[in-house]
Amino acid sequence: MGVFLTILHDKAESAGREVIAVDPRNTSRECPECGHTAKANRPTQEKFHCVACAHTAHADTVGAINVLRAGLVRRDANPA
């Protein structure tokens, strides 16, 4: 584990939190509304517009939602 992740895990533990690693690939290209994943969903660096359902949002927000969901799925699949 790298230095950053070691520090992050230590800080999270001391704050009573947990760190769950998720695969970040396509998290800002996958629509949080319908699940459609496509490069065309990111017409610009900051904009997200789903070509399947027309959902629009900031790409960072979409990525954050998808990372959170992936982390929650992993947490629920691997109870401590």
Alpha-carbon separation of residue 64 from 3, 26, 73, 80 (angstroms): 23, 11, 14, 24
pLDDT in tens, 52-78: 999 999 999 999 999 999 999 999 887
Cα separation, 52 vs 8, whole angstroms: 37
pLDDT in tens, 9-20: 999 999 999 999
Sign of the torsion angle spanned by Cα atoms 68, 79, 20, 35: negative
Q: Residue 4's pLDDT is what?
A: 92
Size (the chain), residues: 80
pLDDT in tens, 28-59: 999 999 999 999 999 999 999 999 999 999 99
Contact 61, 73 (CB under 8 A): no
Contact 66, 27 (CB under 8 A): yes
